[in-house]
Structure 1
Amino acid sequence: MALRDLPHPLMRDRRAGVLLHPTSLPGEGSNGTLGVEAYRFVDFLADSGLTLWQMLPLGPTHLNRSPYQTLSVHAGNPDLIDLDDLVARQWLSPEHRFSETPKQARRRAADCFFSHYDDQPDSAESFERFCYEQHHWLDDYALFMALRDCYPEGDWTHWPDDVRLRRTQGMARMRRELTQPIEIYRFEQFIFNQQWQALRHYAREKQVALFGDMPIFVAHDSADVWANQSLFHLDAAGQPLTVAGVPPDYFSEDGQHWGNPHYNWEEMQANDFRWWRQRVSTQLLWFDLVRLDHFRGLEAFWEIPASTPQPRLGRWVEAPGRALLNSLFREHKNLPLVAENLGVITEEVEVLRESFKLPGMVVLQFAFDGNSDNPHLPHNYSPHTVVYTGTHDNDTSLGWFCSQEQAVQERLLDYCHHSQDDMPDLLVRLALSSVANIAIIPLQDLLGLNSEHRMNRPGTEEGNWLWRFAWPQVPPDLPQRMIHWLTLYGRQPNLSLNHHSRL
């Protein structure tokens, strides 16, 4: 029996939001930050009557920039740190702010912070409190990152045995030798946390809830796997024995080979899923709602032998999802989770989701295959659902529509009573008018952008996660238009966010 009595409060009212990863915010540099443009975007949402800002996972990424293959499930991406804030704190000079790379600037700010440590007791106390409260992951993460700098060739399985196997003497020696870089990585996480909490506080004041994303699997080359090797299905050398992926589906006719190591579920269950409980606690420090990516993997996961690159050769293996969710709900009675239940979904997956009263997802771009029983068609929705025009893995709705056969286009137009609305407004209004309590629209669809503005193409390696918008792309009348639509379709909740967000 599930431990949840009612849906989380934020899921009970009809509301709408926008999907935009912070890296896609405008500004200088190669990605957006938690600076002034993030606050301006919150203002845009509030002015438009939109009460949810959904984003992708926030962790520090590898060179491919994928937020679903991060170096830590607890750390924030330091590339999101606003350097202007470091200038305002007098830890970074304006000259160095513009003459150095962001990474160099952050390290210079850290040097300044520690060199004046005794002169700023409030900041020093905040730093020490943060390090103490987060030591269960921060110590290993900071050492992991410092070691990556020492051994840049290959992942952690290529490190010397003393640190690869985490032997006591070797670990103690490296902590002594790498004291300075370890402190820099701690400083980055301290600053990220302070900037993030300030943004979250501002969003709450504007009645905007932050909606996060928690990947079910973690990257093999990560602090999490290195520091918790017994919790993963690895061989003696630290290499995965089996890896995650999915069989052929809508996104890929050959299936997908993600490469994440699978969990040692028996070991995790032996300590009541402590690793998962700590992970969820971090998400709740950041977000008001959390999407659990690939929820079906908690019922059964696709196991691919590490020796093959072909996802078709995998198999389904049962997972202890019910035991895990019971553990999480014992710790967090009204856990604000949304289940990503797209792809190959069985009755067993839906029974698991519904027993914990987790809303699932529907995507309008999947709806118009000619099957009136298609669960993505609005007449098949239940209110306890999150509807999307498309996700970060989809084409933009305008790009999708233009690429469809005439029969699909005609089915959509017929379903919408041959409305005179242009695409993608037609799909946006269909989402907003549906009975689903939550409607999420990618910003690209609100701006009417084509396929050139797509965020990700599953199964490809190049050109993903780079898209950014510019304010001139935002029509001046968009906030007024959104207010009208949200009022028309009853998506302006009256209760305050602060009441809803007491977790």
Structure 2
Amino acid sequence: MKPADIFNRRTAGCLLHPTSLPATLQGGCRLPCGNLGHHAHHFIHFLRDSGLSVWQMLPTGPTHDDRSPYQSWSAHAGNPELVCLQTLIDWGWISQAVLQPQLAESRALTFEQLAELRVLACEAFYAFIKTQDGEALEQNFKRFVAEQHHWLDDFSLFLALRKAHGGASWLQWREPLRLRDAKALAEAKAHYQRDIEQAHFEQFAFYSQWQALKQTAVEKKVQLFGDIPIFVALDSADVWAHPEQFKLDDNGQPLTVAGVPPDYFSETGQHWGNPHYNWSVMQADNFSWWRERIAGQLAQFDLIRIDHFRGLEAYWEIPASAQDARGGKWVEAPGKALLESLFDHFHTLPIVAENLGLITDKVESLRKAFALPGMLVLQFGFDGNAENINAPHHFEPVNIVYTGTHDNDTTKGWLENLSAAECDALADYLGTTKVTSWGLIKTALSSVARMAIIPLQDFLQLDNRARMNTPGTTDNNWHWRFDWSDLPEDLAARIHHEVSIYDRLGRDLPFSDAVTPED
């Protein structure tokens, strides 16, 4: 197996989910989240001007109502809330007049109002592709639907049936639909065709805008870095359409659920509620479900992180009836067989292993056997333990260093919550009298780790009000956004200077320094 070339260069990047971008429609109407439109392209230009060559994001699938990117309706679909309606207008798919009556009533839209606008945009889109000017677009649309049918058909019907059942989980649908009776599904497809067409339009719009964004990234030599949640949501098209791939009872209820034991983030652990995979079934067909999933991600991203990688070696199995994660146990998973199958199929895989938390020698042996970079987080590196692997003096070049991740406080917020003794110890380690966000950024950039990723919040020196997520909680997460006025005029130049002096402009390293697998 051959490691991806990007892991053999010194690079730097920025962590920012697209929902955190600014977003408005023509006339200044503010949207409830960022999207794949003009501001996303502008952010790539900002990265290039800053000397940053990697844009890391969170998962981009359609989210549940809590908007966590790690609980999605589909492992394949894109989040329609990331579709930029202004781009559809600019491309000529719809006209401004279609949306204007609704936009005139509000200067800031809710997610519900944005969904209503997508319905209007869908109607206009189907009308347009039936015209002479829309013929070429119609052919592209039909080609997309045909090429993606292996997931799009089930996903579109899933959304339509969920709407028909008042938003209820598929586990609460009437039995013929819940258990996928062929006759019931055929009748539903005919009856809910309009809602199915809505989903087809939204996915076509998402993937068309994604390809445009990716083209800009290619032109500016910016690598897109994605994220795969290791597990999928119970209430998802994946589990409904492929129940045999998961550990469920005859009624579709999970036998056990996923999570993690008590750790740094939570005294009771984390109870995610995701069903576990039926690994014996997956292994019997050479992990075809995973191959399709990885192929879809590689079509979007240049490199991908597997969240909770340790679950490929052993996963925390919680009884389905448990209220928290403390009653779980570790169960071995066929991670080696899975990765062998994936590398046999794709040859080179630009995968990063999220190896934070309780990591055993077996997990690290699995990661290193496939030459997969792991993660190092500076906020975890200064606990007074001289053997801490997150302390810079123990860094290994193959791994990726972060000041913090989406699950951490911002670096400024973290520093403000340290005790006086902790601040003194940190300053002593770094050889300074006062530690700042930029001081930690320089520590990451100057390290031997080949790739350094800095959250935008840290570049902007924002406090804990800009935190993206607090693990183990469900309120006030995933909402943070920035505005271009938040960026100092000299920020790109300052970042470029730091990236340059620490040799992170993407220069190829000598072959002798390249990443290789360990036996």
Q: Which residue number in structure 2 is paired with residue 501 of structure 1?
A: none
| Offset, 1:48 | 0.3
Q: Which residue number in structure 2 is paired with residue 110 of structure 1?
A: 122
* Letter in structure 2 aligned against 1:97: L
Q: Which residue number in structure 1 is paired with residue 19 of structure 2?
A: 23
Q: Which residue number in structure 1 is paired with residue 51 of structure 2?
A: 49
1:238-262 Cα deviation digits (max 9, x unpaired): 1111000000111111111001011
Q: Which residue number in structure 2 is paired with residue 473 of structure 1?
A: 486
What pairs up with 1:223-262 in 2 under 5 angstroms? 223-262=237-276
* Cα contact 1:235–1:241 (8 A) shared by 2: yes
Residues 168, 316 of structure 1: alpha-carbon distance in 2 compared, 3 angstrom cutoff: same
Residue 427 of structure 2 aligns to a residue whose secondary structure is helix
Q: 2:72 aligns with which of 53, 70, 75?
A: 70
1:335-354 Cα deviation digits (max 9, x unpaired): 00000000010000000000
* Letter in structure 2 aligned against 1:8: A
Q: Which residue number in structure 2 is paired with residue 410 of structure 1?
A: 424
- 1:383 correspondence with 2:390: no
| Offset, 1:153 | 4.8
How many angstroms apart in 1 are the aligned matches of 2:453 and 2:368? 21
Q: 1:266 aligns with which of 280, 295, 298?
A: 280
| Offset, 1:457 | 0.6
| Offset, 1:313 | 0.3
Unaligned runs of 5+ residues in structure 1 are 496-503
* Letter in structure 2 aligned against 1:411: A
1:123-164 Cα deviation digits (max 9, x unpaired): 111111111111110000000001111002530011111110
What pairs up with 1:166-177 in 2 under 5 angstroms? 166-177=180-191
1:296-327 Cα deviation digits (max 9, x unpaired): 00000000001111211000000000010011
How many angstroms apart in 2 are the aligned matches of 1:96 and 1:411? 60
What pairs up with 1:58-457 in 2 under 5 angstroms? 58-100=60-102, 101-119=113-131, 120-418=134-432, 423-457=436-470
How many angstroms apart in 2 are the aligned matches of 1:172 and 1:410? 68
* Letter in structure 1 aligned against 2:231: F
Residue 338 of structure 1 aligns to a residue whose secondary structure is strand
1:432-451 Cα deviation digits (max 9, x unpaired): 00000000000000000000
How many angstroms apart in 1 are the aligned matches of 2:420 and 2:100? 51
How many angstroms apart in 2 are the aligned matches of 1:311 and 1:300? 15
How many angstroms apart in 2 are the aligned matches of 1:455 and 1:130? 34
How many angstroms apart in 1 are the aligned matches of 2:161 and 2:483? 38
Residues 441, 69 of structure 1: alpha-carbon distance in 2 compared, 3 angstrom cutoff: same
Q: 2:472 aligns with which of 451, 456, 459?
A: 459
1:216-238 Cα deviation digits (max 9, x unpaired): 00100000110001111111221
| Offset, 1:388 | 0.3
Residue 130 of structure 2 aligns to a residue whose secondary structure is helix
* Cα contact 1:20–1:54 (8 A) shared by 2: yes
Q: Which residue number in structure 1 is paired with residue 108 of structure 2?
A: none
Per the normalisation by structure 1, the TM-score is 0.96
Residue 311 of structure 1 aligns to a residue whose secondary structure is coil
Q: Which residue number in structure 1 is paired with residue 9 of structure 2?
A: 13
| Offset, 1:419 | 5.6
1:401-440 Cα deviation digits (max 9, x unpaired): 11012222122211211166x5100110000000000000
User: Which stretch of the first structure deviates more once superposed, 137-146 or 88-97?
Assistant: 88-97
| Offset, 1:115 | 2.5
Residues 212, 234 of structure 1: alpha-carbon distance in 2 compared, 3 angstrom cutoff: same
How many angstroms apart in 1 are the aligned matches of 2:121 and 2:324? 46
Residue 479 of structure 1 aligns to a residue whose secondary structure is helix
* Cα contact 1:83–1:97 (8 A) shared by 2: no
Unaligned runs of 5+ residues in structure 2 are 24-29, 103-112, 509-519
1:38-96 Cα deviation digits (max 9, x unpaired): 11111110000000000000000111000000000100000010101222244433244
Residues 270, 473 of structure 1: alpha-carbon distance in 2 compared, 3 angstrom cutoff: same
Residues 57, 474 of structure 1: alpha-carbon distance in 2 compared, 3 angstrom cutoff: same
* Cα contact 1:87–1:97 (8 A) shared by 2: no
1:378-410 Cα deviation digits (max 9, x unpaired): 111111010000000000001001101222212
| Offset, 1:332 | 0.8
Residues 449, 98 of structure 1: alpha-carbon distance in 2 compared, 3 angstrom cutoff: farther
User: Which stretch of the first structure deviates more once superposed, 87-96 or 351-360?
Assistant: 87-96
Q: Which residue number in structure 1 is paired with residue 105 of structure 2?
A: none
How many angstroms apart in 2 are the aligned matches of 1:175 and 1:240? 27
- 1:38 correspondence with 2:44: no
User: Which stretch of the first structure deviates more once superposed, 401-410 or 168-177?
Assistant: 401-410
How many angstroms apart in 1 are the aligned matches of 2:212 and 2:126? 22
1:191-232 Cα deviation digits (max 9, x unpaired): 100000000110110111100000000100000110001111
Q: Which residue number in structure 1 is paired with residue 511 of structure 2?
A: none
How many angstroms apart in 2 are the aligned matches of 1:367 and 1:202? 36
* Cα contact 1:386–1:436 (8 A) shared by 2: yes
Residues 177, 331 of structure 1: alpha-carbon distance in 2 compared, 3 angstrom cutoff: same
How many angstroms apart in 2 are the aligned matches of 1:146 and 1:247? 36
* Cα contact 2:98–2:121 (8 A) shared by 1: no
* Cα contact 2:7–2:450 (8 A) shared by 1: yes
* Cα contact 2:63–2:71 (8 A) shared by 1: yes
Residue 13 of structure 2 aligns to a residue whose secondary structure is strand
Per the normalisation by structure 2, the TM-score is 0.93
How many angstroms apart in 1 are the aligned matches of 2:100 and 2:429? 53
* Cα contact 2:38–2:87 (8 A) shared by 1: no
* Cα contact 1:84–1:97 (8 A) shared by 2: no
Q: 1:485 aligns with which of 498, 505, 508?
A: 498
How many angstroms apart in 2 are the aligned matches of 1:405 and 1:102? 44
* Letter in structure 2 aligned against 1:391: T
